Amino acid sequence: MIKPHKYLDLNLSLLNMGGVILNIIKETGVIKYDELLNRVILSRGNNATEVFIPTLGFLYIMGKIDYKKDIDIIEYIQ
């Protein structure tokens, strides 16, 4: 997903979606998983659901977000 190919929609690329998700999370600091998914779908359309979970994994590995399983929220890490 990071390596481009001729069929890649740049609006749904991993890096672009990462920016969208970080902007949404930065506004509130913490956000519920379902609410974040709904806001991403409103922003990028239903096809964004295919890239949503890999993007969250990428942001988690990069140390930008943290997931609190107990209360089902995603938190922005500064």
Q: Is residue 23 domain-resident?
A: yes
Q: Is residue 52 domain-resident?
A: yes
Burial of 74 (0-12, 13-18, 19+ CB in 10 A): buried
Over range 12-26, report the average pLDDT.
Answer: 93
Domain count, the chain: 1
Q: Is residue 4 domain-resident?
A: no
> Rounded to two decimals, what is the model's pTM?
0.87
Range of the domain at 70: 10-76
Per-residue confidence (pLDDT) for residue 1, from 0 to 100 = 52
Between 11 and 38, the higher pLDDT residue: 38
Length of the chain: 78
Over range 55-75, report the average pLDDT.
Answer: 95
Element containing residue 68 per DSSP (H, E): strand 65-68
Tokens 């997931």 belong to residue? 67
CATH code at position 45: 1.10.10
